[in-house]
C-alpha cells in the first residue's frame, strides 16, 4: 500500500495518459482493429513478464498463480479490461466517440456510489454537491444523445467491474497486470497465427519496420498506466477516484476540440460545464480546508 498523496498522483498520471490516447490511436488507422488489440495485449504481457523477472517478483507471481481465488479475480478483470479496450478502439474507429464519452462520464458516478454503498466510505458535503452537478451534466448529455447507447453501457460495466476487482484483490499490482495480460494473450496469438496460416496475413499485418515498432509500442502504452492504476486504486477512496476519472475524458474533449477540430455545440458546453464545476469543487475544497487549519 502507498500513501494517499502518491495514490492520487498515480491515478492522475494514469488518466492523463488515457486522456491523450485519441491522438495515439489515430496513428493506427491503417491497421484492422483486431490486430491493434492483439498486439496491444501480446506486447503488454511480454513487457510485464520481463518486469516481473527483473524486479524479483517471481515468488509473488507463483503465489498468485497458485491462489484459486485471486486467479478467478484476475480472469474476470482480464476479460473486463480486454472488452473495455475493444469497445474504446471500436468507438473511435466507427466515429461513436460521443457515445463512448457518455460511458466514461457515467462510470465515475457508479464508482462513487460503490464507494459509499459497498465500502461504506464517508462522503463530505462538497462531494455531494459535486455529485449532483455531475448527475445534471450527465443527464443533459443523455438527453442530447437521445438514448443511453449500448456502447456507453458496455464501457460503464466493463471498467466498473475492472476497478472493483482491482480494489478487492490483494495481489501485487505488477503481478496483477502481468497475469491479466498473460491470460488474454494466448487467444490473440492464436488469432494472429490462424490468419497467418489460413489467409497468409503477416503476423504484424505489415512488413514496414516503422509500423512494427508502432505496434510494439502499444505494449508500453498499455502496461504503464495499468500498473500505475493498480497501485493507486488500492490506496484511494472510491469517492475520490470517481471524480478524478473525469480528468481523462476532459483531456480527450480538449484534444477533440482544439487538435482534431471536432464539433462542440453550446449544448455540449452546457452539459460539460456542470462536470467541470464538480471536478473543481473536489480538487479545490481539500486545499481550502487545509488553508483554514
Give CA–CA dist 40/213, Å, rounded. Answer: 12
Please report the DSSP string for 112-123 in residue order: HHHHHHTS----
Residue 174's alpha-carbon distances to 28, 156, 222, in angstroms, are: 27, 24, 13
With 70 as the cut, is the pLDDT of residue 124 above it? yes
CB 163 within 8 A of CB 108: no
Give me the chain's average pLDDT, please.
Answer: 85
The pLDDT value recorded for residue 243 is 76
> Helix 247-254 and helix 266-292: axis angle, to 10°?
130
**Residue with the three cell numbers 524479483:** 56
Give CA–CA dist 252/23, Å, rounded. Answer: 9
With 60 as the cut, is the pLDDT of residue 260 above it? yes
With H, G, I as helix, E, B as strand and everything else as coil, classify residue 18.
Answer: helix
Which grid cell sits at 192? 494472429
Q: Which of 9-13, 198-202, 247-251, 289-293 has the highest mean pLDDT?
A: 198-202
Give CA–CA dist 38/43, Å, rounded. Answer: 9
The pLDDT value recorded for residue 150 is 81
CB 260 within 8 A of CB 20: no
CB 201 within 8 A of CB 195: yes
With 80 as the cut, is the pLDDT of residue 263 above it? no
DSSP state letter for 147: S
* Tens digits of residue pLDDT in 71-98: 999 999 999 999 998 988 887 777 677 6
In the chain, domain spans: 4-121+150-241
* Tens digits of residue pLDDT in 35-79: 999 999 999 999 999 999 998 999 999 999 999 999 999 999 999
CB 111 within 8 A of CB 219: no
Amino acid at each position: 500500500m502507498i500513501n494517499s498523496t502518491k495514490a492520487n498522483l498515480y491515478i492522475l498520471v494514469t488518466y492523463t495518459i488515457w486522456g491523450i490516447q485519441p491522438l495515439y490511436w489515430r496513428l493506427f488507422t491503417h491497421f484492422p482493429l483486431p490486430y491493434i488489440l492483439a498486439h496491444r495485449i501480446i506486447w503488454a504481457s511480454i513487457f510485464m513478464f520481463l518486469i516481473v523477472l527483473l524486479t524479483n517478483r517471481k515468488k509473488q507471481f507463483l503465489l498468485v498463480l497458485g491462489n484459486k481465488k485471486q486467479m478467478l479475480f484476475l480472469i474476470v478483470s482480464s476479460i473486463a479490461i480486454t472488452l473495455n479496450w475493444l469497445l474504446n478502439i471500436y468507438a473511435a474507429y466507427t466515429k461513436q466517440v460521443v457515445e463512448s464519452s457518455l460511458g466514461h462520464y457515467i462510470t465515475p458516478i457508479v464508482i462513487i456510489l460503490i464507494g459509499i454503498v459497498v465500502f461504506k466510505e464517508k462522503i463530505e458535503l462538497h462531494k455531494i454537491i459535486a455529485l449532483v452537478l455531475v448527475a445534471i451534466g450527465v443527464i443533459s448529455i443523455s438527453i442530447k444523445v437521445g438514448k443511453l447507447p449500448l456502447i456507453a453501457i458496455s464501457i460503464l460495466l466493463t471498467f466498473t467491474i475492472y476497478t472493483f476487482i482491482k480494489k478487492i484483490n490483494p495481489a501485487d499490482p505488477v503481478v496483477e497486470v502481468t497475469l491479466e495480460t498473460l491470460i488474454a494473450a494466448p487467444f490473440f496469438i492464436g488469432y494472429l497465427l490462424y490468419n497467418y496460416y489460413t489467409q497468409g496475413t503477416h503476423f504484424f499485418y505489415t512488413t514496414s519496420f516503422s509500423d512494427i515498432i508502432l505496434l510494439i509500442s502499444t505494449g508500453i502504452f498499455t502496461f504503464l498506466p495499468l500498473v500505475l492504476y493498480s497501485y493507486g486504486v488500492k490506496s484511494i477512496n472510491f469517492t475520490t477516484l470517481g471524480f478524478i476519472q473525469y480528468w481523462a475524458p476532459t483531456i480527450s474533449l480538449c484534444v477533440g476540440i482544439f487538435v482534431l477540430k471536432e464539433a462542440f455545440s453550446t449544448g455540449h458546453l452546457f452539459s460539460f460545464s456542470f462536470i467541470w464545476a464538480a471536478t473543481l469543487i473536489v480538487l479545490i475544497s481539500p486545499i481550502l480546508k487545509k488553508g483554514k487549519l
